Structure 1
């Protein structure tokens, strides 16, 4: 039976299972995107961008959603969310960048597909389960029988089953359905809710009024039986909610046009009277603001308790929707309160319930031999079936405490569990199974339960990640969810050695039920250690709330440290520089980095970065390629770091990276160059509109590179009242300046006029190539099918074709631009320097003035550095068979001499002092090496060949 059911799930969701197993991001609905407008904007603000993207069928996703209310803090407005169809040839990151750059959009997201969290098993196939598989042992384990003596459920309390279709004819389910008598089946939308004849719920996935059973998926029937099977009817089982009703909302498609609709089902169930909603489905990863918005709407605007499966992966991970705010996350245990073998565990889990061999309504067998289909039962397992127990308990708590808000019901369930951390079998998961195992009797009888929680955490400054040495503040808002508390305190502790809490105490005192308090007047203070932090480290902070009653409760919040990028923000232009040559973001999804902004604008650079080339087949970059992927030519030698102040500017950054060295007879299509990237930003008024980027290029190959092309690819998305995709790219040959602008410069609230560009300041012969991103396939450069190596080479080497200096005229288009240079030759081991300035301004005249100021600034910087680096280095004999004499033109004092191979790896270190030293290279393999001397005069380099 297990094999049969697993096969049936695969048939339902088709090829979706494979992507889920292969990646941390769940699959998405093809061709469908959602966008949320910022307050005050109307859909017309997206017209230009949607036209550029060739988007179709823009429609309001939740037109009948309840608006937010002041008396419900945290309530949300779903009416600004729209959905549209996008051509499959346009990558999500492209659409996201175009829409965000309008200034009218809060977020752009795909629609994630979440799978059911079941582990079905045939009870007769495992002899170890026979003793419990034909009984509802779990009712005693969670004290359901005794709870029913206190409260027996109410037919007016409805549990929304957002899941697969339910067998509505099953003997234990058919009388438990909540009917909508305001809209009988007559072909008319009698209750005018937008759904015709939704008498028995709704099939959201297939958009019809039949949420009934589909033979290809039994999951919904299984969940509904645990929660709401009829009790006291002399047959079958008893649902945990006893007399409560359920409303089926199907979320899985069984037609060619159907789509997964879990989030839409949550909104439907909340809008149609459900006080509790089950979500026995999900996937690891794939955080979605759309999903969080829908959940917040149900929980806050509609006052619904949402219960979700923590997942069936035996790992500590975030699982959605269970890990969203306002969701009660439920993991599983067996009949002895031992964690279920495959149950997910994490600090985000709220509580556990039985999830092994759960007897429930099956409704699978459609033929004789095992009894009639409508009288079928079976034992199943997984956190999917722990969820309906907790949801049923929530329904009974709502009946017992009718004045409780949804948040209070959740708190009551969380604080009345039986702690199972002390069991030896659970020692490995202490603190990651929530407060304990569900106890329904306590939940419906305890009237002095206490719970206070941190409901919002606000960091200042708000950044996606904090760099070594950063200091920041944390404001916590605390709410007492349940009964009054005295001497309430919050203590903040860092669980990471890389993050220090400088001030972590917040004394609240007494707080009444639903009262709130904040430490905004004296926020927690934190600091990041200055060194030794691994890249992209997650540091966990623990809030510990205590009160005089003995109450203690822990919550956790994560902070990302030491990102693999830096941001220069000394002036009006804030630029993200990565450790591998990209600008704005380190990934096409625009998730790693802070983009490029001007005077507090939104991001104005969708993608940017360094390109190198010697031929159409030898190109190095980390930019887009085909199929929504990016090339990975460059790898980091040293992490990008920032100095503030730097020796020559108010902010400076340094990074070193290189590509692979081509080998004859292989398919390596890189150039073979090591790059040292320096960047400079100044705060002086005349230097506030630019950042200087300096690239030192060293030939790692044994051949002369002739010529060598270098340049910056810049996909600008400048704000425009008619849509971000309406830009023009052009060239100022008197300044070697390529720039972009919006042809429509009518001022608009929140949409400032911006000119942006790149100027070649030093190195070689300038080249420019302006690109219409929507040029059809067959054009010299067409980004619609990716960015190929020949196309990249063409854009770098175009120093003669005047027709490619401008794109987007007369009305604007979605444009990119490459500003580059041609270097005649670069001998083995030799280095050269190419320098660009990134520029932004409000007018063309100001951009030109900033360009001239950048040139003057770099000339001043170059002269000061030349004086500092007057010392030179010599090495002989060169080539050498072993011993080499290294000599400096002036005394250095103490220094370190490093020998680097052609991969940029240090293979030898030697300390020295004075003006010369001997070096023995006899143990090194023949080849080209670099001598690098770090001393008071800076960094000196010289190539040396070992025979």
Structure 2
């Protein structure tokens, strides 16, 4: 054993001092859970070739095998080979046999793994494995002294447990799974209460052929052994505490009474004791569902980090296996969505105090189903065989009260499905909202506080529930200005319902609902109906701020006084838009990234050409003045994402584009609120993107314009701006090559041995070009090596060394390559602005890519001119475009003094005085390079500005 390392692992899992022995204030919400390094889960995209079979041959396909070899990854291992398939006709089930787990070198960024595996086209998703935390809070030894009635186990009276036990004391055939830190089998109130598997006694043989040797009394899924005994370490007593609340031996003349009375519990240890162990909470859910648990308690979780893999596991257990899942809603005094509590098919439990007020430092949410006591909970302790904790608190201990109640309901109503058990518990609670202090939490503490007696005795309850939602267009997020059709399936879970109507209203000012009411025909028990013929319509406001979460409320009204509410959350304006130019699709984010928002790869559709397979791992704008002043939203030296750019105005598609089929614009800035103020560059960036569907010659390139404004009091001299692009082109993303075309100022990438596609970026405007191609996995002593972190010094080197490093991956096998294409602006004075523009291109051949690059430059030159000429009464330039000679005409009365011509970076390239009292003059532009220039006419009272295009003579 390795006690010091084990303790370190526990501290890391539990977030430092979360399980400290003394009372502590609530911890602030984290941005999300940590991930297990070097491991991910994937789900096969193809359906099973035949019922009961998984198409493992898909994993042996050439693209998948090549990707695994390139990543240095292990062969994927089927995680749940014995999982039960959905029943025939069961539409909401899930096939876990198509989920696999694989390992890859810890030094390879997960984004790279995700990108290359998705490119194979074999997988629905590629996700990390999250490490969820126990929702335990420390003991308060003085809690009992403040209690009056029944101070030791007051909560049993609150939830009417004594009355409930008159109707059902449970039964040893009902098993409550406890997924936690392990248990103390020898505790006087737990001894003999564990579920035993007599089909697999401890003899070194897997007698029941379930894949687990000697799993006689639970399983340690974290360390993969048959001993779920908790370790004698700080924090590992959590599982013993939880087990006591749900299943302590009752009516034995000692200790406490467990809510489940005679029900058994199955200990499932999910936190590791060895260096090779790992958090196994979701594996334990499958184990519990496959090994006879009718109820499972999860007193662990995290804020955010929603995962489709985790939802699949929940769906399998609740739908395929009909297991009731109960989870703690969190211990942060805020409106937060904790996971797994906030997943579909989970009973989410918040906490209350002895007087039914919301518990201190307990989370609340529209996704909470009900509440149970969570303060000064007396329960079994791990310390010794007759030890009890006199007053633990937290939603960790509210949840097992509900789990115990669910076990009694399952015995009392054996015909109920897991969804019906949840409905019975929700519909028999005692209201909490008549209590003054709870009024501010209305609808966020569920239907009320658990009442077990009512849950076991009331048989007249009704509940309708929206069980499925389908959106058209099919998206996870919606943009400002969208109109969305929402189709729902409604099911009657308990008694038949007549006279039912479902109305949908928005609690957000940025979303309105049309066609708000769905009249529902009479529904028998478990009957389902849909509003497919007349869906709800959701109208997203064009003024919706970035990353807005809109809450909608379903309100159910039926005969016999039935009323209920259910809530739905939708993310609006997620911070990216996707533009389409022929066969090329590109997502642009609000903070300077291309393809995906770097902090959340799920935000964005990537960059794709001809197929829906991603071509770009990560990309984005980089702005710098020195190796110490670099701004971006890319990985840094620690392989974390920099957060230099912050949103000023979220990127949005223009509702009435003027210059292209699709246009998008937004503003972000490197501001004083930046997390790295000492190293900020100090610019505000207005981005504008253009994409054309027609004509054909404008397909397959997208123009990205960046207007950079100096927001510092100092001149930025020089200023570098560029796009970093980490392309991964099929069929071998680790066998790519990068090259530079000087004439077209074009950097591009293709697959070295078998080029099928080309992708690149060309500099359209901005200054002297720079290009630097890099091998991401270059030796550690290389000038640029991305795999060991991407430092500011490396980014500046790629931006500021001209075009000397023009190629990468030009070996026989190629490499995993990236490049930086930038422009050097000699200086930018305070308050001044400069425009830098690029075109992102894709083509099937190099010749086509070069032609597309030329076309992009030609069209951008036209694009840069005003859409409509200024009024003739002001002034005129002609001819425009010009090969050199330019005539300038101003209206009578305009006191012109000087004409100045500026290039694309703001440098004066021509100037001359205006003839006194004249309305016409000529301007000679011969000798200037072809391109767009700015002509400024200075007068005594005004400054007139116009763009002019100089072409080859």
TM-score w.r.t. the length of structure 2 is 0.83
Corresponding residue for 1:682? 692
**Aligned partners of 2:504 and 2:433: how far apart in 1?**
23
**Aligned partners of 2:505 and 2:893: how far apart in 1?**
47
Measured after TM superposition, the shift of residue 89 of structure 1 is 2.6
Cα gap change, 1:389/1:816 in structure 2, threshold over 3 Å: closer, same or farther?
same
Measured after TM superposition, the shift of residue 814 of structure 1 is 2.0
Q: 1:190 aligns with which of 187, 191, 207?
A: 207
**Aligned partners of 1:559 and 1:124: how far apart in 2?**
43
Corresponding residue for 1:234? 253
Cα gap change, 1:428/1:581 in structure 2, threshold over 3 Å: closer, same or farther?
closer
Measured after TM superposition, the shift of residue 937 of structure 1 is 12
Deviation sequence 1:729-781 (CA, Å, 0-9, x none): 233445333222334659xxxxxx54321122344444432222111211221
**Aligned partners of 1:698 and 1:871: how far apart in 2?**
31
2:154 corresponds to 1:143:
no
Q: 2:150 aligns with which of 116, 132, 138?
A: 132
- Bigger drift between 97-106 and 632-641 goes to 632-641
Q: What SS does structure 2 have at the residue aligned with 1:569? A: strand
Cα gap change, 1:376/1:932 in structure 2, threshold over 3 Å: closer, same or farther?
farther
Measured after TM superposition, the shift of residue 475 of structure 1 is 1.6
Cα gap change, 1:415/1:779 in structure 2, threshold over 3 Å: closer, same or farther?
same
Q: 1:443 aligns with which of 439, 455, 474?
A: 455
Cα gap change, 1:278/1:466 in structure 2, threshold over 3 Å: closer, same or farther?
same
**Aligned partners of 1:483 and 1:275: how far apart in 2?**
22
Corresponding residue for 2:24? none
Asked if the contact 2:938/2:944 (under 8 Å) is kept, the reply is no
2:4 corresponds to 1:26:
no
**Aligned partners of 1:827 and 1:870: how far apart in 2?**
33
Q: What SS does structure 2 have at the residue aligned with 1:509? A: coil
Measured after TM superposition, the shift of residue 394 of structure 1 is 1.2
- Bigger drift between 637-646 and 824-833 goes to 824-833
Q: 2:861 aligns with which of 859, 862, 866?
A: 859
Aligned residue runs from structure 1 range 527-538, under 5 A: 527-531=539-543, 533-538=544-549
Aligned residue runs from structure 1 range 754-793, under 5 A: 754-793=757-796
Q: What SS does structure 2 have at the residue aligned with 1:486? A: coil
Deviation sequence 1:794-850 (CA, Å, 0-9, x none): 32345453x632425443432212233445666777655433211123444443343
Asked if the contact 2:222/2:271 (under 8 Å) is kept, the reply is yes
**Aligned partners of 1:696 and 1:48: how far apart in 2?**
41
Q: What SS does structure 2 have at the residue aligned with 1:263? A: helix
Cα gap change, 1:788/1:220 in structure 2, threshold over 3 Å: closer, same or farther?
closer
Q: 1:169 aligns with which of 178, 186, 190?
A: 186
Deviation sequence 1:356-413 (CA, Å, 0-9, x none): 2333323423xxxxxxx24757443322222222112211211122121111111111
**Aligned partners of 1:297 and 1:306: how far apart in 2?**
11
Corresponding residue for 1:739? 748
**Aligned partners of 1:12 and 1:703: how far apart in 2?**
50
Corresponding residue for 1:837? 839
Corresponding residue for 1:16? 14
Q: 1:426 aligns with which of 435, 438, 447?
A: 438
Measured after TM superposition, the shift of residue 684 of structure 1 is 0.5
Q: 1:97 aligns with which of 109, 115, 126?
A: 115
Q: What SS does structure 2 have at the residue aligned with 1:17? A: coil
Cα gap change, 1:69/1:39 in structure 2, threshold over 3 Å: closer, same or farther?
farther
Cα gap change, 1:856/1:409 in structure 2, threshold over 3 Å: closer, same or farther?
same
Cα gap change, 1:37/1:468 in structure 2, threshold over 3 Å: closer, same or farther?
same
**Aligned partners of 2:15 and 2:643: how far apart in 1?**
28
Deviation sequence 1:837-895 (CA, Å, 0-9, x none): 1112344444334333323322332345594599999xxxxxxxxxxxxxx967999xx
Q: What SS does structure 1 have at the residue aligned with 2:150? A: helix
**Aligned partners of 2:202 and 2:844: how far apart in 1?**
61
Cα gap change, 1:502/1:732 in structure 2, threshold over 3 Å: closer, same or farther?
same
- Bigger drift between 600-609 and 550-559 goes to 600-609
Measured after TM superposition, the shift of residue 279 of structure 1 is 0.8
**Aligned partners of 1:169 and 1:703: how far apart in 2?**
72
Aligned residue runs from structure 1 range 339-738, under 5 A: 339-365=358-384, 373-374=385-386, 378-531=390-543, 533-569=544-580, 571-599=582-610, 601-636=612-647, 638-657=649-668, 659=670, 668-669=678-679, 675-686=685-696, 687-697=698-708, 708-720=719-731, 724-738=733-747
Q: What SS does structure 1 have at the residue aligned with 2:115? A: helix
Measured after TM superposition, the shift of residue 218 of structure 1 is 1.9
**Aligned partners of 1:355 and 1:828: how far apart in 2?**
58
Corresponding residue for 2:59? 43
Asked if the contact 1:66/1:301 (under 8 Å) is kept, the reply is yes
Cα gap change, 1:165/1:452 in structure 2, threshold over 3 Å: closer, same or farther?
same
Cα gap change, 1:589/1:776 in structure 2, threshold over 3 Å: closer, same or farther?
farther
Deviation sequence 1:44-67 (CA, Å, 0-9, x none): 353333333333474322222222
Cα gap change, 1:125/1:782 in structure 2, threshold over 3 Å: closer, same or farther?
same
Asked if the contact 1:282/1:321 (under 8 Å) is kept, the reply is yes
Measured after TM superposition, the shift of residue 611 of structure 1 is 2.8
- Bigger drift between 78-87 and 771-780 goes to 78-87
**Aligned partners of 2:568 and 2:137: how far apart in 1?**
31
Q: What SS does structure 2 have at the residue aligned with 1:485? A: coil
**Aligned partners of 2:116 and 2:356: how far apart in 1?**
52
Measured after TM superposition, the shift of residue 187 of structure 1 is 0.9
Q: What SS does structure 2 have at the residue aligned with 1:32? A: strand
Q: What SS does structure 1 have at the residue aligned with 2:96? A: coil
**Aligned partners of 1:422 and 1:498: how far apart in 2?**
31
Asked if the contact 1:132/1:357 (under 8 Å) is kept, the reply is no
Measured after TM superposition, the shift of residue 671 of structure 1 is 5.1
Cα gap change, 1:172/1:667 in structure 2, threshold over 3 Å: closer, same or farther?
closer
Asked if the contact 2:480/2:652 (under 8 Å) is kept, the reply is no
- Bigger drift between 414-423 and 701-710 goes to 701-710
**Aligned partners of 1:358 and 1:228: how far apart in 2?**
14
**Aligned partners of 2:937 and 2:126: how far apart in 1?**
49
Corresponding residue for 1:158? 175
Deviation sequence 1:183-216 (CA, Å, 0-9, x none): 1011111111111111111111222111124332
**Aligned partners of 1:579 and 1:166: how far apart in 2?**
48
TM-score w.r.t. the length of structure 1 is 0.84
Aligned residue runs from structure 1 range 49-68, under 5 A: 49-56=67-74, 58-68=76-86
**Aligned partners of 2:118 and 2:17: how far apart in 1?**
27
Unpaired runs of 5+ residues, structure 1, are 1-7, 366-372, 747-752, 874-887, 894-929, 942-947
- Bigger drift between 596-605 and 238-247 goes to 596-605
Deviation sequence 1:451-491 (CA, Å, 0-9, x none): 11111222222344433322222121212222211122211
CA-based RMSD of the aligned residues comes to: 3.5
**Aligned partners of 2:376 and 2:643: how far apart in 1?**
48
Measured after TM superposition, the shift of residue 264 of structure 1 is 1.2
Q: What SS does structure 2 have at the residue aligned with 1:150? A: coil
Corresponding residue for 1:923? none
Corresponding residue for 1:299? 318
Deviation sequence 1:3-48 (CA, Å, 0-9, x none): xxxxx99994446324984622123334332232322573335333
Deviation sequence 1:334-358 (CA, Å, 0-9, x none): 3332222222211111111222233
**Aligned partners of 2:744 and 2:196: how far apart in 1?**
74
